[in-house]
Amino acid sequence: MSKKVVHTELDEMVAWRFNLVKSNLGLKSDGEVIRYLISNYYNRNFGDKVQKNKERALEEYENDVKPILENFMSKYSDQWKRLGEEN
């Protein structure tokens, strides 16, 4: 994942609000404020949805994929393990 550099200029009112948020959170740098605000927004708006998708994917794996893999490995595990070996 790549990094993101943000350069911005805030007008007087937004700068005042930003500093108020920074002060109330007890954070020392502007970057910490931005990271906090992004994280907080993400968790409020996407966190539950992402967690539900992860749970759904795990359930799908357990119910659909895992039995197929277990069946495959029970039949072909010896051959599968020897695939990378040199003769």
Q: How far is CA 45 from the centre of its chain?
A: 14
Confidence class of residue 87 from pLDDT cuts 50, 70 and 90? low
Q: What digits encode the pLDDT tens for the residues 6-50?
A: 889 999 999 999 999 999 999 999 999 999 999 999 999 998 888
pTM of the predicted structure, to 2 decimals: 0.56
Domain ranges of the chain: 10-45, 47-87
Mean pLDDT value across residues 57-85: 89
Q: How far apart are CA 15 and CA 28, in angstroms?
A: 15
